[in-house]
């Protein structure tokens, strides 16, 4: 599955190289009912061709009309859709939703193309970046992003957008809990990969929009299957799969690593990982075990909910004591 934002940036780069002006739009904030999350991208060229999405239809149509009328000739502006006080917005969103959109007019210049190539590398998982845009001048800067946090940070005079690969959930082994996790994660927009070499376990398993890889999760991880926007979770209760996955996962930049088991089981696992795997205190501190938020979960769906909730907490940079 190719990250839609990656497709947008690549097409914008192609248009720019071909000498076309490009309008790059970023969803900054949503209020009420809005179908696209903050950080979502849309690109439009001077011929009216476009790629990406801001709302699922109505905003795109209005924006294309505005571009054709010459409404966005400044280097940068912020447009609010869904309220009547912005003369550049002539539509209302369903259920009273409001959408703030950053609109940048990009000239077909070498520095613009270099900037888009940097965004492409980040969206491919090669690095994570914070993209800062000056709302007065349109000047753009990129900074290395070494922390998890909100996707958009907005101040009076500037906007910061986190740029990274599609959020990936790597399920180390199949189980009923892994099945529920996969279904939840797909609905949340994750790229989901399930690794399990056991043919007898995977027989009859159907998971829509999930990539199934029939190999040991540890081998998949060791072969470069994780990047800094990957969450690795082991949910099988089989130490031959779970322990090996943890040993490899802590050697990656995965932002979340967790394994299922009780407090007692987790303590025994940590002893094994320290004794057999050679993991130190810093490695073990990265592993969430027991996994997930303490919601009193019992059923596979409840456990999966606790796991995904904890992943989202970490991704948003929220400390556990603030829950």
Q: In the chain, what are the domain boundaries?
A: 4-163, 168-322
Q: Per-residue pLDDT averaged across 49-71, rounded?
A: 82
Query: pTM of the prediction?
Result: 0.73
CA atoms within 13 A of residue 247's CA, in its CB half-sphere: 19
How large is the average pLDDT for residues 243-247?
96
Please state, rounded to an integer, the average pLDDT across all residues of the chain: 89
Cβ within 8 Å of residue 251, ≥6 positions away: 221, 222
1 pLDDT above the threshold of 50: no
* H or E segment to which residue 210 belongs: strand 210-213
User: DSSP code of 32?
Assistant: S
**Is the pLDDT at 3 greater than 90, yes or no?**
no
Segment 34-53 shows an average pLDDT of 85
Q: Average pLDDT of 282-309?
A: 95
Cα-based torsion angle of the residue sequence 309, 313, 316, 319 in order, rounded to the nearest 10 degrees: 170
Mean pLDDT score, 209-227 = 94
The Cα 151–Cα 181 span in angstroms is: 23
**Residue with tokens 């969803």, as numbered in its chain:** 27
Return the ∠ at Cα 245 (arms to 241 and 250), rounded to 5°: 160
Q: What is the mean pLDDT of the segment spanning 281-306? A: 95
Buried b (16+ CB within 10 A) or exposed e, 132-141: bbebeeeebe
- What per-residue confidence (pLDDT) applies to 115? 97
For the chain, the distance separating the N- and C-terminal CA atoms, rounded to the nearest angstrom, is: 32
Residue closest to 115 by CA, chosen among 252, 266, 9: 9
Considering the four listed CATH numbers 1.20.1050.90, 3.30.930.10, 3.40.50.720, 3.40.50.300, the one that applies to the domain covering 168-322 is 3.40.50.720
Pick the more confident residue, 91 or 128. 128
Mean pLDDT of 309-317: 91
Picking from 59-63, 182-186, 232-236, which range would have the lowest pLDDT averaged per residue? 59-63
Whether the ω angle into residue 78 lies within 30 degrees of 0, i.e. cis, is no
* Sign of the Cα pseudo-torsion (112, 117, 122, 128, in order): negative
pLDDT given at position 98: 79
């Amino acid at each position: 599955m190719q990250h839609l934002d990656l497709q947008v940036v690549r097409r914008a780069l192609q248009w720019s190289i071909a000498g076309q002006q490009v309008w790059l739009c970023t969803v900054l904030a949503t209020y009420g009912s809005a179908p696209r999350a903050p950080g979502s991208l849309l690109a439009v060229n001077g011929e009216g061709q476009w790629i990406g999405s801001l709302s699922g239809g109505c905003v795109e149509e209005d924006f294309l009309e505005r571009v054709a009328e010459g409404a966005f000739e400044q280097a940068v502006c912020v447009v609010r859709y869904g309220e009547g006080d912005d003369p550049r917005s002539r539509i209302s969103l369903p259920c009273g939703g409001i959408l703030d959109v950053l609109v940048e007019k990009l000239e077909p210049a070498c520095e613009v193309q270099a900037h888009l190539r940097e965004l492409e590398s980040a969206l491919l998982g090669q690095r994570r970046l914070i993209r800062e845009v000056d709302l007065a001048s349109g000047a753009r800067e990129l900074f290395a992003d070494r922390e998890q946090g909100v996707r958009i940070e907005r101040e009076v005079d500037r906007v910061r957008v986190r740029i990274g690969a599609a959020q990936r959930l790597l399920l180390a082994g199949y189980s009923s809990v892994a099945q529920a996790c996969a279904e939840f994660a797909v609905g949340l927009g994750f790229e989901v990969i399930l690794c399990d070499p056991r043919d007898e376990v995977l027989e009859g398993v159907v998971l829509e929009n999930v990539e199934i890889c029939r190999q040991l999760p540890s081998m998949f991880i060791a072969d470069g299957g994780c990047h800094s926007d990957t969450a690795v979770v082991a949910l099988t209760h089989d130490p031959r799969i779970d322990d090996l996955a943890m040993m490899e996962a802590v050697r990656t930049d995965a932002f979340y690593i967790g394994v299922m088991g009780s407090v007692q089981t987790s303590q025994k696992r940590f002893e094994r990982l320290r004794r057999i795997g050679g993991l130190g205190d810093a490695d073990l501190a990265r592993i969430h075990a027991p996994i997930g938020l303490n919601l009193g979960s019992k059923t596979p769906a409840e456990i999966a909910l606790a796991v995904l909730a904890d992943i989202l907490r970490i991704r948003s940079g929220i400390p556990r004591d603030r829950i």
